Structure 1
Amino acid sequence: MTGRDGGAALEPLGNTPVVILVRPQMAENVGTTARAMANGGLFHLRLVAPRDGWPQERAWRAASGADRILDAATVHPTVDDAIADLHHVFATCPRPRHIVKTVLTARGGAAELRAATQRGLKVGLLFGPERAGLDNEDMARADALIRYPLNPAFMSLNLAQAVMIMAYEWWMAADTTPARTLMTNETHVATKGELENFMGHLVRELEDCGFLRNAQKRPGMVRNLRHFFTRGEVTEQELRTLHGVIRELAHPHRLPEDEKATSK
């Protein structure tokens, strides 16, 4: 099976966890799993005894361009064979089991996976079949279990969703994106000098029109205006627009009679 798409964006990013699908039942779920993996920077996929064999054309159709992951996927007869070269393996476990083993959240698991890979160790994530999940024998091979703290009244996830949660947490464990940004496009956040220039323009026009005629209230009114414009990150483009508004209000242009009639 040859790849259809891909590109530099789908090149493995260093030592990343191996995603191991144990006895997957539907090719479409394998394809959407590859798509979820690519979103979170996971690129190594192993399949243990896929029900319908491998490869399956339907998987590539569902992968939305994550073809290189499917092209490089390997098939293994048993879980033991799939994890033989790994140092640590975590298993996702949606249901309570009678097993004595460390249980991690997705976030906690991702943090431990990051720490292990930074030490040069190879790690893997086990995901069970769509219908029943991993059995006790599968989980016995894992160093720890991962259970997602979701709504206890409804914890139903499909296979790709379960992989997506771990892929997201893996990515976020090393992500440095600010929690909050302002999209300014071609403009920029106004400097204090630009804001002060605008405030001077505004205050002069307000004085000329008599808005600030009450000398006792004037300082407080100007402060309130200043607080209004400094409370958020006003952009230079917005200030230019407001300059234009002030000029137009201070020196309005009279519309010709025909334009007045049209605007009514």
Structure 2
Amino acid sequence: MIDPRPAFVLVRPQMGENIGAAARSMLNFGLEHMRVVAPRDGWPNERAVALASGAGRLLDSAKLTADVPEALSDCTYVFATTARDRDLTKPVFTPEAAMAEAHARGARGEKVAVLFGPERAGLENDDIVRANAIVSVPTNPDFASLNLAQCVLLMGYEWRRAATGASGSEMEMAGTDWVTHAEMDALVAHYEQRLEAAGFFFPESKAASMRRTLRNMWSRMPLTRADAQIFHGILRQMVRWKERG
């Protein structure tokens, strides 16, 4: 079975805490292929384990390499994350577009990797020239640098969205359903009946226009069946209260 998930390659990371936080971010979104290139403080790293929390198994299975070429040796397409302008001619993707592309390529059996640079200065040009494309996050140009774990989290989130087909929004119906036109007609008729009895539609010459306005207002409201029952109940209770008075 093809595993379409990309490898996240941490290039010369400087702080074990960031490696651990990156592992946790990866596992949040179902990514488990971590590669670590020449970590400054050696490997394994106790601080990385401490920050990884329940994602320590990613660190246990992480592939340690001495340089970027070794880390990318089995890859067919590579993205490099960078916030700086480069004098390099390459396709530039947003994180969303990059991870959609990564998912499509992975589903075809390609091995995709994403490069993340060290905390202090990011990827060097010698690293980026090995990538097929650049990922640029539309950050504040006056403060563009992202923490390593933050960048991993962002890319992992976009990967998960692409992999699961998650929509931008959805409605949780909580056991109900949308009101039908017949149910809406019944609700409108209930209110018109009671408003008529209360003398609301006055003067008579404007009654038809007022009914249309109210009906149009109701039709703009995205009511559920539960909502409609609440509106019916409100009106019934108000009538009972009036009659008791």
For normalisation by structure 2, the TM-score amounts to 0.88
CA distance in 2, matches of 1:29, 1:163: 10
2:118: which partner in 1? 129
Distance 1:228 1:182, change over 3 A: farther
- The structural deviation recorded for 1:38 is 2.6
1:162: which partner in 2? 151
CA distance in 2, matches of 1:184, 1:100: 48
- The structural deviation recorded for 1:175 is 4.3
CA distance in 1, matches of 2:220, 2:57: 48
Do residues 99 (structure 1) and 59 (structure 2) align?
no
Root-mean-square deviation (CA, aligned residues, Å) is: 2.3
Aligned to 1:63, which of 49, 52, 70?
A: 52
1:243: which partner in 2? 232
Query: Residue type of the partner of 2:3?
Result: G
Aligned to 1:193, which of 182, 205, 217?
A: 182
Aligned to 2:23, which of 27, 31, 34?
A: 34
- The structural deviation recorded for 1:232 is 2.3
Native 8 Å contact 2:75 2:113 kept in 1: yes
For normalisation by structure 1, the TM-score amounts to 0.83
Percent identity between the aligned chains?
Answer: 44
Query: Residue type of the partner of 2:154?
Result: I
Aligned to 1:225, which of 208, 214, 223?
A: 214
Query: Residue type of the partner of 2:195?
Result: L
Query: Residue type of the partner of 2:50?
Result: R
Could you list the runs of 4 or more consecutive aligned residues of structure 1 that deviate by over 4 angstroms after TM superposition?
none
Distance 1:72 1:225, change over 3 A: same
Q: Deviations over 1:101-124 (max 9, x none)?
A: 333332332233223212211111
Distance 1:244 1:107, change over 3 A: closer
1:153: which partner in 2? 142
2:39: which partner in 1? 50
**Which deviates the most, 197-206 or 32-41?**
32-41
1:142: which partner in 2? 131
- The structural deviation recorded for 1:64 is 4.3
Do residues 74 (structure 1) and 63 (structure 2) align?
yes
* Partner secondary structure for residue 99 of structure 1: coil
Query: Residue type of the partner of 1:89?
Result: V
> Normalized per residue, which structure has more helix?
2
- The structural deviation recorded for 1:17 is 0.7
CA distance in 2, matches of 1:123, 1:14: 11
- The structural deviation recorded for 1:46 is 0.6
Query: Residue type of the partner of 2:238?
Result: L
Query: Residue type of the partner of 1:189?
Result: W
CA distance in 2, matches of 1:202, 1:131: 66
* Partner secondary structure for residue 145 of structure 1: strand
Distance 1:64 1:238, change over 3 A: farther
User: Which ranges of structure 1 fall in alignment gaps of 5 or more residues?
Assistant: 1-12, 256-264
